[in-house]
Structure 1
């Protein structure tokens, strides 16, 4: 295992901003939680415009050169991109990998969510780590040499998945793409945490992205019998027959907890420990090593000073493969489950809802973990019953969450997030709720009573109208004691853009936002501006 956080030496890492784009039209954490709470299965069929299914897919029987499934978790739109907002010409944008475009949008949205104006990071030592492994877009361009131009090499390079974010935001810290297959984004998160612990950077962006553009990967995984013929990620189930591919991405903004508190940031959750290692030599390069996974888990929890009984839930990798699930459960059970005195360890997998986002799967698991802590409930892991007879759940003291499970009341709830790649790279992260801080409500009562401005800004008049509407909806759901935070964040901590509307009020029902606009400041993309307004306060 690589050097991890040693108890007493490193402080928790705060997740201060988050953004996601996931199958089923999910565009934020609230949307993800709604899908999980409702138990929605978001796996569908490949959109017709992706590739010619009649040429590459044959669901009737396994055939050479064909995939036996086109099932997957797909985004509604991977083509649209507001290039002007990011200072990119349309010609250059056309050559950019859609994964890179997605990451730029996620960075803008996550900073909005963190209430960090991008200009405040310009020139800083902010780091960027991105988990990514698919280079299909560049390969598809090279199949038609006449489409190759001066922007092709830059647009297709995997390094640009991270470097493009650093370039756009003028970030001067470490910036790199990480490819460890399906554990890529959780390894990227681990690297980001170490950069903060080392003091190399004060802020870090950690992300993962995956877009399914090519039919050849479907063919290849089918020939290896890795994909589910049923089109379901049935993790921990007797019906498990492989994984289902999925696309999307997520990005989190990280700071040391002390820095986040000094900056007045909202904290989604804290990272208490992380680590990564490799399986070493196995019977096959794509086969997991449960002993190595167990070693990683033991090391991360011991070095973080967290006991197995403190875990209230563990978000497993849980792909639904015949080899992977039993190996992972064996590692979790031996390292954590059998050492508990407080009952079975609940486990689940977000892949049962979304499909397997491959290099971005770890970040999806992290976002689910944050939501489990926020809502105090572990949502059902779909398709987990009947239980896989090759997994000794009772002996390992594990239990798949087949129905929504309220978490036990505890002073320090802890959730684990597990991930591994088919080349042997394993990663694990421990997530907890923000530690309690002294109640400052009394000290702020006097300042909260005064009238405050609420500012909404956007890049175009049309976007401003949409943003104003969303802010009005947000205000309608705001309690009076939440108004100060919302007004402060909207007015002082968001980036101020060219078109603006403002109202002065003493509470959420104190005035109507006007439709007037100004002409100052930077731009904001249409969709992101509306999302920023919808989220409201810190």
Structure 2
């Protein structure tokens, strides 16, 4: 059965950390729209790169690289208490475990999933990784290994730690196929969803460069670019560049995402995995295997590569940054989409590193060197389609077909009524975190003044985790809400401290009849379509009573009547039914 018959997979949430201060998908999008080089010298809080540098990359115990793409965030910083981890255990945790916990939590926020709504579910976790520098660092001195070293550094625990904290009972698997680990993790997460092993899944990827060993080992194999720059499909390609990153995406089947009313970021139409087999060496890629994988993935998606409308408009190449590896990939792409392949210089010539610059047939493929608009779509064509390649150094290849989802799935039943205030609830695990959260929202509202406060209130109430420390505001506009937040921060007023571990209980309040006055509740009736609908429904119920019990006046009429004696709100037979309507 094809994946098209089983149904696509929806990506409903995402989060990331990348070099250049990128802490969110929006930050990554800004970087892609206005590219800048985020390469930096390897910082000293990783290791003293200058002490391990030698221009000869194969010099014993040295590397010919001093630069990389590293996170701005200090990997040692971690909010252990938020994740219920003891300080002594947190010290032994691989920073990859720490960052994965944070990024997965942010991914769930992006998906609008509160922790309390997903605990105990069969959610699956798939983590791709290719290095374990923290384990190597600790093993340098085996006499002083921390008590939690094993649990803190074993690769299997990367996925298991996430499942444990979030209380998920679905598959929990760490995967290492080197460079293709992350896309392989996505593939297996999608497979688990399609076969029913999990109703939702989180696919993650992580790589941190904490010591020199990784650089030294790959320098000996002459795989790294001495400049620390990956020059894909370039005449000066001389190796790949090392980089750090942590990312997570939240997945459901498209059917379940639509049913649940999730916001769909994009759709995985199909994924595929294969192996290069027995090439001349274990690191030598196979253009035949790569091309076959692309073709097989499109076949599983129910797409015909012979039809131009079924092909992708954008292809994300793996891009080894080596002249041989890039030429093989270019040949495979050309062969898969436009067989027979066009001439590609250098293909199949591993010993000829001085061949002319690589190129793909210009009639079929454009290789952009700067940001360009998406190709013009044909009339009636709604789907934007992209292909993604990813290859492991040992020959494990992955391919994915990604599409936009051009339809809305979120139910917008929130009232957009001017003048009626909305309740906005903010919560955090500590007062310090709550202050930081309010500060960030203050700036966000200043930059986005057109946000509807009712939408914001509904999102924070229904799609964010309810944590212990809370602050509640009532406002009719973003300007009013921002002013209230600013005042609260200036006054340093105490927050609500709620012990969320106790089960919620219902509180019934009996206020008596209370004071009545003319047009009490009229503004709500006039400005809130939902309230008007409720009163109209109640009026219809009253009209169904027996003739002797049916009131001679509609509820809405009495609510809107102004002045005394015109209004009969002060009379028991009138105000008692009205007072009980809500």
The verdict on a shared fold, with TM-score over 0.5 as the criterion, is: yes
How far did residue 481 of structure 1 move? 6.9
* CA apart distance, 1:337: 4.9
Which residue of 1 is the match for residue 497 of structure 2? 519
Q: Distance in 1 between matches of 2:411 and 2:468?
A: 35
Question: Could you tell me which residue of structure 2 aligns to residue 384 of structure 1?
Answer: none
Partner of 1:58: 54
Q: How does 1:99-498 map to 2 (within 5 A)?
A: 99-308=96-305, 309=308, 310-337=311-338, 389-394=356-361, 397-407=364-374, 408-409=376-377, 410-437=381-408, 451-478=421-448, 480=450, 482-498=452-468
Distance in structure 1 (CA, Å) of the matches to 2:243 and 2:356: 27
* RMSD, aligned α-carbons: 2.5
153-162 vs 113-122, which deviates more? Answer: 113-122
> Which residue pairs with 2:348 in the alignment?
none
- Alignment CA distance shift 1:471-1:322 (3 Å): same
Structure 2 equivalent of residue 12 of structure 1: 8
Q: Could you say which residue in structure 2 is the equivalent of 1:27?
A: 23
Tell me if the contact between 1:334 and 1:396 (Cα under 8 Å) persists in the aligned partners: no
Deviation at 1:89, TM superposition (A): 0.9
Q: Distance in 2 between matches of 1:6 and 1:286?
A: 30
- Partner of residue 97, structure 1: 94
- Secondary structure of the structure 2 residue equivalent to 1:15: strand
Correspondence for 1:503 = 473
**Secondary structure, in 3 states, of the residue corresponding to 2:187?**
helix
Q: Do 2:13 and 2:265's aligned partners in 1 also have CA atoms closer than 8 Å?
A: yes
State the alpha-carbon separation in 1 of the partners of residues 26 and 465 from structure 2.
22
Q: Is the 8 A contact 2:415 2:454 kept in 1?
A: no
Tell me the residue number matched to 1:46: 42
TM-score (norm 1): 0.83
Structure 1: give runs of 5+ residues left out of the alignment. Answer: 345-387, 524-538
1:179 shift after superposition: 0.7
Distance 2:176 2:275 in 1: 13
Does the CA contact (< 8 Å) of 2:2 and 2:302 recur in 1?
Answer: no
Question: Using the alignment, how far apart are the partners of 2:289 and 2:31 within structure 1?
Answer: 33
Displacement, 1:305?
2.1
More off after superposition, 397-406 vs 323-332: 397-406
Decide whether aligned partners of structure 1 residues 249 and 477 sit closer, same or farther in structure 2, where only a CA change above 3 A counts.
same
- Decide whether the 8 Å contact of 1:300 with 1:428 is kept in 2: yes
Q: Residue 487 of structure 1: CA displacement?
A: 2.1
**TM-score for the superposition, normalised by structure 2:** 0.77
How big is each residue's C-alpha offset from its partner over 1:45-82, in whole Å with a ceiling of 9 and x where there is no partner?
Answer: 11123223343211377523321112211112111111
Secondary structure of 2:46's counterpart equals coil
| Counterparts in 2 of 1:429 and 1:313: CA distance versus 1, 3 Å | same
1:469, distance to aligned residue in structure 2 (A): 2.2
Larger RCO of the pair (alpha carbons < 8 Å, separation 6+): 1
User: By how many angstroms is 1:414 displaced?
Assistant: 0.6
1:173, distance to aligned residue in structure 2 (A)? 0.1
Aligned to 1:358: none
| Superposition deviation, residue 212 in structure 1 | 0.6
CA shift at 1:460, angstroms? 2.1
- Aligned residue for 2:546? none
Shift of 1:508: 2.9
Tell which structure's C-alpha radius of gyration is larger.
Answer: 2
Alignment length (residue pairs): 473
Change (3 A) 1:10 1:451: farther
- 1:485 is displaced (CA, Å) by 3.1
| SS at 2:22 equivalent | coil
The whole-number CA distance in structure 2 between the counterparts of 1:297 and 1:15 is 21
Q: CA deviation at 1:450?
A: 5.0
Output the CA distance in 1 between the equivalents of 2:155 and 2:372: 40
Cα separation, 2, equivalents of 1:102 and 1:124:
22
Q: CA deviation at 1:264?
A: 2.4
